[in-house]
Structure 1
Amino acid sequence: MVGRAVEKIGLPYEIEAARLSTLADLDILDTPPEHEFDTIVEIARRSFGCKIALVSLVDAHRQWFKAKSGLHACETPRGQAFCSYAILRDDLMVVPDATEDPRFADNPLVKGPPHMRFYAGMPLRVRGGRDDGASFAMGTLCIIDTVPRTLSPGDADMLRRLAKLVESLLNTRAALAVALKTESEHRTLLRRLDVTNRQFRQAERMTNIGSWTLTLADEGMEWSEQVYRIHGLPTGSPPPLDAALRFYPPRARADVAAALAHTIATGEPLDLETDFVNAQGEDRRVRTLGEVELRDGVPHALVGVFQDITERHRIEQALRRSADTDDLTQLANRARFNDMLARQMFAARRTNLPLALLLIDLDHFKTVNDRAGHRAGDMLLKAVAEQLTAPYLADCFAARLGGDEFVMIVTDEAMLADLPSLLRRLLADLRLPIAHGDAVIPVSGTIGAAFLDSDVIDASALLHNADLALYQAKNASRGTAAIFGRAGTITSADAADTQSRAA
């Protein structure tokens, strides 16, 4: 059986026999999970954003996973293992798209669960007991995804570094069996363990991820150095659980406590992203992942990783703001308005509270662009945005739909109780005459307003009603407002006098 397996992956029998002997000497197959290996695969999966990360060891007839993240299976047949090919290499093996690779296109792991498409595996070499000091690939540290991907040179280097950490752990284990024979070899083992620990701490610093353990019986905490660093605390004894929770703002604290209780009660993995305040009072963003560790079938502890994701969160928030914001006025754009209107309408109906929608058109905007130039037009749009975000409108939501069209959602009960007064004030604020040479271009806003009532079935209907009111106001006179379903138009108190002087 060993001979057939060797023939399939192309290793000479003598080398494969020595490799399997070295693997057996490690005494690692079918051993319980170990914190160091588990942390490294979690770091790998999070760092590269992949679905799965594994420490895979290739036996005669199977590949067995010493550590895994994102996969339930403990082993697969060797004939299906991508790692059987990776251990033949001296360096990283990358498969960008398994469906395009004739070696793997028909593989059950590609055609069925876990539907592998991308694979990158770095061989893990361990020194054997032979006099020539030869080393053999026991398996790989690999990352897997369900979509095609490429691996940048920087990511490839990071995967190699993490694989070196796993190799250090494996070689330390191999050295232990030999080092027990003599005191000299024992000192060598200690030095290697120190190097491994320093490399492990370096990996935590590089990825800003620390590891933690919470013992359930006494709520005792164990933290790696990076967890202390994220908290802004000196390395030592971690605080008790209730003190550790005080690093979270009140609302986030309740979420963390509830998530911990849920994981302990159900065994479901913990994955929570929250706000956080370190010991220096700095606002941070962190992600906590954890799972239940069983002992004799009984929950014994929670083990997991803790990551400072502040910079990533800031970038994501900036990208989200960019996608939702009109670049010129910094108001919300049409997409953000559509989302907000749906949310506000749902909330208003659920709570039975009022809501009104205001459509605003600028009058003479084209004249400003034609006569004073587009720079003057842009400055006018920014001035309108300032008026629509004035302090008294802080509870309203304003957006630019495009061109000279703006919109506002009003939910303030006091404002809606006297909507005509709000419209008069807005009409006055939106009279923004533009001086051009010896002339003045009168600029005003015309507004159509509509209430959310029982006849409005959706956002489109509410927009339609506001548009009809806007049409009514425009037909009456520029610089006025109309409310859908009500006769007459609204003019600001001093509009006629101001427009007369501007003319």
Structure 2
Amino acid sequence: MREDAAASVLSDEVRVRLYDQALNAARIGAWECDLQSERLSWTSGVYDIFGYPAGNPLRRAAIVDLYLDESRRNMELARADVIRSGRPVTLDTEIQTWRGERRWMRLSINATQDGDRPVRIFGAKQDVTSDRQALEHLRRQAETDPLTGLANRAIFQARYREVVGDSLNYGFASALVLIDLDGFKELNDTLGHLAGDACLCEVARRLRRAFHNAGLVGRLGGDEFAIILRAPRSPARIAEVLQHTLAMLSRALFWNGHRIEVSASIGAALIGRPHRRRIADLFEEADLALYRAKAAGRNRVQLIGDETQSRAA
């Protein structure tokens, strides 16, 4: 009988060990919080997720500070809802570990009741950082031009609707700008597509640096780029900014011992007011402005809009 009992105890120990191993492999830990004292209890998996030394005292205020701002607000709202309603909640939160590393964590919250009074909340915490990174990588692939890393045409058009409809910033968008490189086909024919790709990447880098605070930059395809310009607002200032953009783009670049001259033509459609104009109409106007810039000799700016007469810069 003793041997059978020992075998039974050993079997229980094995089951517990396997269970703990499975949780650790899945980067899951369990937790609970006594609502009266706010005393926290963690399994080792939660300590690992937070990178928190096992010997340090668990003070809820210090742990809450490890959540990033938006995640902290969402977590506190979810926690309060579970305590109030008794319904379980699961949400993804972003934390900064005790060692300063950012991680995503899936948090589940449930409540234990004593009669009608919640006395304890508990749940699981799982490190889902790799899953979030994989999803973010797929999102970037879907939304960006693979060569330059700028927004692609589809996401550029979607972001236009967000910018002009942003009530918080009063629909702050001033112009749709199209940029077409001059003589790009000749560059490809002369030095090859690798040189052309290097030129496109350098142009993208210059545009991203020049407009990182003032607009959304995208590559529509080939050698055509686009900008949703948020500032400045006046036609005169827009023309001045775009003239500076021409000068910036016209600086030569060097590739494999070759000096590559760059120039561009720019057409811009002024958005004006009201902001709820169809993007197809703005593209049509910007295309017309771009055509006029090229017809006038290239390497110049042309503006079209309802609030101003067409002008060249």
- TM surpasses 0.5: yes
Query: Does the alignment pair 1:394 with 2:216?
Result: no
Structure 1 position 451, deviation (Å):
2.6
Paired residue secondary structure (1:418):
helix
d(CA) in 2 for partners of 1:398, 1:372: 27
Separation in 1, partners of 2:168, 2:272: 9
Q: Contact 1:276 / 1:286 at 8 angstroms: preserved in 2?
A: yes
1:263-274 matched pairs, under 5 angstroms = 263-274=82-93
Q: How far apart are the structure 1 equivalents of 2:111 and 2:223? A: 57
Output the CA distance in 2 between the equivalents of 1:417 and 1:289: 55
Deviation readout 1:241-293 (Å, 9 max, x if unpaired): 22221111233222211221122223343222122111212121111112233
- How many angstroms apart in 2 are the aligned matches of 1:183 and 1:417? 95
Shift of 1:349: 8.1
TM-score computed with the length of structure 2 as normaliser: 0.86
Matching of residue 490 in structure 1 with residue 300 in structure 2 = no
Question: Counterpart of 1:309?
Answer: 128
Change (3 A) 1:364 1:220: same
Cα offsets for 1:132-167 (capped at 9, x unmatched): xxxxxxxxxxxxxxxxxxxxxxxxxxxxxxxxxxxx
> TM-score, with normalisation over the residues of structure 1?
0.55
1:448 aligned to which of 259, 263, 267: 267
The CA distance in 2 between the partners of 1:452 and 1:328, in whole Å, is 29
Please give the alpha-carbon distance, in whole angstroms, between the structure 2 residues aligned to 1:451 and 1:459. 12
Match of 2:298 in 1: 478
Kept after mapping to 2: 8 A contact 1:333/1:399 = yes
Q: Which residue of 1 aligns with 2:97?
A: 278
Counterpart amino acid of residue 20 in structure 2: R
Contact in 2 for aligned 1:480/1:490 (Cα 8 Å): yes
C-alpha deviation, 1:376, in angstroms:
2.0
TM-superposed deviation, 1:215: 2.7
- Post-superposition Cα deviations, 1:432-465, rounded to whole Å, max 9, x if no partner, equal 56899xx988642111112322355232222223
1:484 aligned counterpart, secondary structure: strand
What is residue 140 of structure 1 aligned with on the other side?
none
Task: Identify the residue that residue 497 of structure 1 maps to in structure 2.
Answer: none
1:241 maps to 60
Deviations 1:297-334 (A, max 9, x none): 54332221101111222222122112222111121211
Q: Find the residue that maps to 1:276 and give its secondary structure.
A: strand
Q: Letter of the 1:275 partner, please give it.
A: E
Q: Which amino acid aligns with 1:459?
A: I
Q: Secondary structure at 2:110's aligned position in 1?
A: strand
Question: Which runs of 5 or more structure 1 residues have no equivalent in the other structure?
Answer: 1-181, 492-503
Question: Amino acid of the residue matched to residue 475 of structure 1?
Answer: A
For the pair 1:461 / 2:294, whether they are aligned, the reply is no
Contact 1:348 1:354 in 2 (8 A): no
Q: Judging changes above 3 Å, is the alpha-carbon distance between structure 1 residues 414 and 190 closer, same or farther for their aligned structure 2 residues?
A: farther
Which residue in the other structure is 2:243 paired with? 424
Q: Which has the higher contact order (CA 8 A, sep 6+)?
A: 2
* One-letter code aligned to 2:218: A
- State the distance in 1 between where 2:174 and 2:304 align: 13
- Letter aligned with residue 279 of structure 2: A
The equivalent residue for 1:143 is: none
User: Structure 1 vs Structure 2: percent identity of aligned residues?
Assistant: 33
Aligned pairs for 1:41-190 within 5 A: 189-190=8-9
Change (3 A) 1:488 1:451: closer
Q: Please, which runs of 5 or more residues in structure 2 have no aligned partner? A: none
Amino acid at match of 2:282: L
Looking at structure 1, the residues matched to 285 and 29 of structure 2 have their Cα atoms a distance apart, in angstroms, of 56
Counterpart amino acid of residue 287 in structure 2 = D
Q: Give distance in 1, aligned partners of 2:8 and 2:267.
A: 80
8 Å Cα contact 2:47/2:53 also seen in 1: yes
Mapped contact 2:163–2:172 kept (Cα < 8 A): no
